[in-house]
Amino acid sequence: MASILNKIGWIGASIAFGGAVIQGALYDVDGGHRAVIFDQFRGVSEIVRPEGTHFMIPIVQRPIIYDVRSQPRNIPVTTPSKDLQNVNITLRILYRPEVSALPWIYKNYGIDYAERVLPSIGHEILKAVVAQHDAAELITQREIVSMKCREALNARARDFRIILDDISITHLTFGQEFTHAVELKQVAQQEAERARFLVERAEQEKIANVIRAEGDSKAAKLISDALQDHGTALIELRKIEAAKEIAGTLSRSRNIAYLPGGKNLLLNMSV
């Protein structure tokens, strides 16, 4: 009986040991990832393992997992422009490693290749591109600046086996001195526009006064001619028209009281 139990124990121990060995010899590669195998004797394998479950030799081999999906990264830089204005610019990129070159990337830059490569080439390209334009061009020709950054960064990233899916300028500001100068320029332009408006209004008022004076002169001449032709009848007509207008205005006023024309102004009141 004891021998049977010992055999059962050995079998159970063997199964557990075998399960542990098998478990240690398998590794999983998740979706959107790739694996590179490092062998203690042969170094980095040139074969890139795809998604799924794979076999390795425990202790001798270990997998290095890379995320091959597009990942965002911001690269901020402060650099002078062509006219020596300090420019704060931020570049946003979407990057991923070249899958077939993962063994080469691991040999040269390790698992944190993005930290080692992207900031240095980003600073280099941004400083070179910004130095070709003055501050005004960076604002008015932003698309051209972004295109130059895209072309130069793609060329440099290919040297490191990195693929850039998208590159864009997300932040662009200038130093306080330049910002203050722009504000003063805007204020001066507004004052110049206001002065131009005042001058134009004065010119228009002058023209209106001349036209008004010419109209008054013509009206006076017409009245003088009418008086010479018809005597004072025109004046009497104007008096009647003015009296009618005054009477109409007074009749609509609440503060006007009408009295009889006779001398008896007292009302008949019973005492």
Q: Evaluate if residue 80 carries a pLDDT over 50.
A: yes
Write the CB contacts of 162 (distance below 8 Å, at least 6 apart in sequence): 95, 96, 97, 98, 113, 114, 117, 118
Q: List the structure tokens of 55.
A: 């076999």
Q: How far is CA 108 from the centre of its chain?
A: 38
pLDDT at 267: 46
pLDDT category of residue 266 using cuts at 50, 70 and 90: very low
Question: Please, where are the H alpha helices in the chain?
Answer: 2-25, 102-109, 113-130, 135-140, 142-159, 176-230, 233-251
Contact 75, 118 (CB under 8 A): yes
pLDDT category of residue 187 using cuts at 50, 70 and 90: low
pLDDT at 269: 45
Round to whole Å and give the CA distance between 49 and 30: 11
Average pLDDT over residues 110-114: 92
Q: List the structure tokens of 2.
A: 């004891």
Tell me the β-bridge partners of 35.
49, 65
Q: Evaluate if residue 69 carries a pLDDT over 80.
A: yes
Q: How far is CA 81 from the centre of its chain?
A: 21
Average pLDDT over residues 242-262: 66
Average pLDDT over residues 156-170: 91
pLDDT at 111: 92
